[in-house]
Amino acid sequence: MTSTMRSVVAPKAEDAPTVAGAVTPPRRRGRAKRRYRLTPLLLSAGVIVLMALFFIWPGVLGLTYSFTSYKGFGPMNFVGLDNYTKLAGDPTFYAALGRTLIYTVFSVPLGYALSLSLAVALTNVRARGKTAARIIFFLPWLVSPIVTGVIWRWMFGENFGFVNYVITALGGGAVPWSSDPNLSLMVVIVASSWAGAAFNMLLFIAALNNVPKSYYEAAQLDGANGWQRFVSITLPGIAPTSVLVILLSTLGQMKEFAMIQALNNGGPGTSNQLIVQYIYQTGFAQSNVGYASAASMVLLVILMVIALIQIAINRKATR
Amino acid sequence: MRKKSGEIRRSILPTTMLWVLAILMAFPLLWFLLSSFKGGGELFTYPLSFLPREWTIDGYARAWERIDFVRYFGNTIVVAAITTALTVFFCATAGYALAKYRAPWLSVFALCILSMTMLPGEVILSPTFSVVRDLGFYNSLIGVILPSILTPTGVFMFRQFFITVPDELLDAARIDGANELSIFFRIMLPLARPIMLTLAIISFQWRWNDYIFPLIILSDPKNFTLQIALRSLLGSENIDWAILLAASVISMIPLVLLYLVFQKYITSSDINTGLRD
C-alpha cells in the first residue's frame, strides 16, 4: 500500500526541477523560447520516466526499508535505526565488507596494470600482428561473468585444473586453490583482471594516441630510455584516463557478484562472500529486506565517498 | 636491405611482448574450448594433454539435451534485442537534449544521470525487485527489460557526440523553418549512426550476459535467460564438467559471431566517453 503511494510521489518529485525550469526568464523571442523549452523535455521524457521508476523510486524505497523490519511482504514496521545499529555489530557484514575491500584493493591495480600493458603493446608502432592481437585481447570482453567464473574454476581446479597439473608436473605439491580462502580470492582477482582488461584497454588506447608524438622525439634526443619515457611522458599524459579507469573499476569491483558466484560461490564456506552477495543473501534468501536495505545504504554511501574522492583528485590533477 | 633487417631486429622485442600477452589472454579460453571436446574420462586423467587425444562432441550432445537451449536463446535474444533498441533510442534523445539545449533543469538532469554511474542500481536489489513486482512484471521478460534500458553510459556517449556537431547546422535548419523534433530525427540521428551502432553492440553484450536482475526477477524456469540457465549447472556439489564446459561454449557462440562481424566498430571507435555500465 505504502509503496503504491510512493510510486505516485516519486515521479512528481522528479518533475519538480522541470517545473522550475519552465519559469526561468525568457531568453530571446517568445515563440522560439517556448518551442525550445518543450523539445528537450519531450526528448528526455523517456529517460526521466525510466530514471524515476528504476533509480529514484527504488532509492527512496530502499532508504525507507532500511528503517523498517520489512520482510518482503506484509506490513512494514518502523524500527528506527535498529537495522543500522545491528549492522554495526554484525561480524558477517564486516567480514563481507572487509573481503570486498581486500578484493578491490588488489584487483584494481592488477587490472590497471594489465589493461595498460595491453594498450601499450598494441600502440607500439614496431609490433607486428596488431590486428590479430587486438581481436584476441578483446575476446574476454565477450565472455559473461558466469562463464568467466567457470573458465577460471576449470583452470584452477585442485585435482583437475591445468595450473595444478603444471605445478605437480614441475615437482611441486598441488596448491589448494579452492579450499584456501586467500588463494581462492587470488584466483577471483586474476579472473576479474582478465575479464575487465579489454574495455579499459580501449580507453587507454585512445589516451595513448593523444599523447603528442613530439614529446617522445624530444625525450629520445635527450637520451631518455624507453622506461624513462614511459614514466615521465606516457603516465602523466594519460593521467585523466587513469583516474577514470581506476574510478570505474573500483566501483565495478565493489559490486562484484556474478563471476565470484560461478567461480567459488563465495567459498570456501562463506569466507569470500562479498558485499553484494551478502545483500542478496540477507534480502532474498533470508527475506530480511529491511536489514539488507540498510546494508545497501551503507554500501551506497561508501561508493559515493569513493567516487567523490576520486573526482576531487581528478580536479586537482587536471588543474 | 640493411635498413630492413635493422627494422626487423627492432621490432622483435615489441612483437614478442605483444604476443606473450596475447597468449596469456587467449590461453584460458583456448584451454576451455579444447577441454570441451575431450571425453568425460579424459578431462580428469593425468597427464593432461593440450589437444584432446580423442575429439568428441559427446559433451555438446548431452548439454543440448540437458538444457533447453532453443528456449533460453530465444528468451535471451528477446531481452537483449528489445532492451538494446530501446536503450539506443532513449539514450540518443536524452543525450541530444543534454548537448543542444540549455535549461536549469537539464543540469539537474545531467547530475542525476551522472550519479547513476556512481550509485549502481544492482546494489539496491530488494527495492528494485519491489518496484518491478508492484508494476506487475515479476517473473516476466518485461520485468527484466524495463529496469535495464537506461544506461548512463549511453546517454553520455550521445551527449559527447552531439556536442561535437556544430551548432550552425542546427541554426541553419531552424532558419529553414524545420521543426525541432524533425531536426533531431532527420538530421541529427542519422549523423549519430556510428555511435548508435557502438552502443548497440555494447548494450547487446551487457544484456546478453546480465545475471543479477534476471536472477531476482525471473522465477519460472521457462522464462530464464541463458545465464540463469547456466547457473543451474553449477548448483550441485558434483558438477558435471563435460556438460558445463560444452554448455558454456554454446552460450558464447552468438556473441562471438556478432563480435567478429562488427569488431571494427567496437575496437576502433573512440569510446573515450563510454563509461562502463
Q: Is the pLDDT of residue A221 over 80?
A: yes
Which chain A residue has its CA at the smallest distance from B215's CA?
A258
Which chain B residue has its CA at the smallest distance from A302's CA?
B119
Interface of A with B in 27-56 (CB under 8 A): 35-37, 39-44, 46-48, 50-51, 53-56
B124, B181, B245 ranked by CB distance to A154: nearest = B245
Are residue A177 and residue A283 in the same domain, yes or no? yes
Are residue A151 and residue A240 in the same domain, yes or no? yes
Alpha-carbon gap, residue B201 to B207, rounded angstroms: 10
φ, ψ at A197 (rounded to 5°): -65, -40
Domain boundary among A14, A34, A65: A65
Q: Is B140 helix (H, G, I), strand (E, B) or coil?
A: coil
Mean of the per-residue pLDDT values for chain B?
87
For residue A140, list chain B residues with Cβ-Cβ distance below 8 A.
25, 29
Are residue A268 and residue A127 in the same domain, yes or no? yes
Q: Are the Cβ atoms of B94 and A139 closer than 8 angstroms?
A: no
Q: Are the Cβ atoms of B275 and A244 closer than 8 angstroms?
A: yes
Residue A205: inside a domain: yes
Domain boundary among A12, A30, A65: A65
Q: Where does residue A159 rank: exposed (0-12), middle (13-18), buried (19+ CB within 10 A)? A: exposed
Residue A74: inside a domain: no
Q: What is the longest distance spanned by two Cα atoms in chain B?
A: 77
Mean of the per-residue pLDDT values for chain A?
84
Parse chain B into domains and list their residue ranges: 2-60, 68-267
Amino acid in position A301? V
Q: Are the Cβ atoms of A284 and B125 closer than 8 angstroms?
A: yes
Residue range A207-217: average pLDDT?
88
Residue A72: inside a domain: no
Task: Give the mutation candidate from B105, B133, B134, B145 for the A interface (greatest A CB count, under 10 A).
Answer: B105
Residue A167: inside a domain: yes
> In angstroms, what separates the C-alpha of B26 from chain A's closest C-alpha?
6
B124, B147, B181 ranked by CB distance to A39: nearest = B181
Number of domains in chain A: 2
For residue B100, list chain A residues with Cβ-Cβ distance below 8 A.
40
Residue A22: inside a domain: yes
| pLDDT per position as a tens digit, B94-125 | 999 999 998 899 999 999 998 888 777 778 88
The CATH number of the domain covering residues in B68-267:
1.10.3720.10
The number of helices, as runs of H, and strands, as runs of E, in chain A is 16, 0
Are residue A9 and residue A60 in the same domain, yes or no? yes
Alpha-carbon gap, residue B19 to A118, rounded angstroms: 10
Q: Is A78 helix (H, G, I), strand (E, B) or coil?
A: strand
Are residue A52 and residue A97 in the same domain, yes or no? no
Are residue A104 and residue A20 in the same domain, yes or no? no
Residue A6: inside a domain: yes
Amino acid in position A108? V
**Torsion-angle region of residue A171: left (phi > 0), alpha (psi -120 to 50) or beta?**
left
Q: Is the pLDDT of residue A44 over 50?
A: yes
ipTM, interface predicted TM-score of the complex: 0.89
**In which residue ranges of chain B is pLDDT below 70?**
1-4, 236-237, 267-277
Q: Are the Cβ atoms of B230 and A146 closer than 8 angstroms?
A: yes
Cα–Cα nearest to B145, from B164, B162, B160, B132: B132
Are residue A61 and residue A194 in the same domain, yes or no? no
What are A78's strand-pairing partners? Answer: A68
| pLDDT per position as a tens digit, A171-206 | 888 889 988 999 999 999 999 999 999 889 988 998
Q: Which range of residues forms the domain containing residue A55?
A: 2-65
Task: Give the mutation candidate from B45, B124, B183, B249 for the A interface (greatest A CB count, under 10 A).
Answer: B124
Q: Are the Cβ atoms of B184 and A43 closer than 8 angstroms?
A: yes
Are residue A58 and residue A92 in the same domain, yes or no? no
| pLDDT per position as a tens digit, B5-43 | 777 788 888 899 999 999 999 999 999 999 999 887 788
φ, ψ at A68 (rounded to 5°): -125, 170
Cα–Cα nearest to A93, from A106, A84, A82: A84
Residue A256: inside a domain: yes
Domain boundary among A65, A99, A114: A65
B10, B104, B124 ranked by CB distance to A62: nearest = B124
Its sign, for the CA torsion A266, A270, A271, A274, is: positive
For residue B19, list chain A residues with Cβ-Cβ distance below 8 A.
129, 133
pLDDT of res. A317: 66
Residues sharing a CB contact under 8 Å with residue B205, sequence separation 6 or more, in sequence order: A141, A142, B255, B259
Are residue A249 and residue A308 in the same domain, yes or no? yes
For residue A57, list chain B residues with Cβ-Cβ distance below 8 A.
127, 131
Residue A106: inside a domain: yes
Are residue A229 and residue A113 in the same domain, yes or no? yes
Are residue A112 and residue A246 in the same domain, yes or no? yes
A138, A146, A284 ranked by CB distance to B211: nearest = A146
Q: How confident is the model at residue A104 (pLDDT cuts 50, 70, 90)?
A: very high
Are residue A95 and residue A129 in the same domain, yes or no? yes
The whole model's pTM is what?
A: 0.86
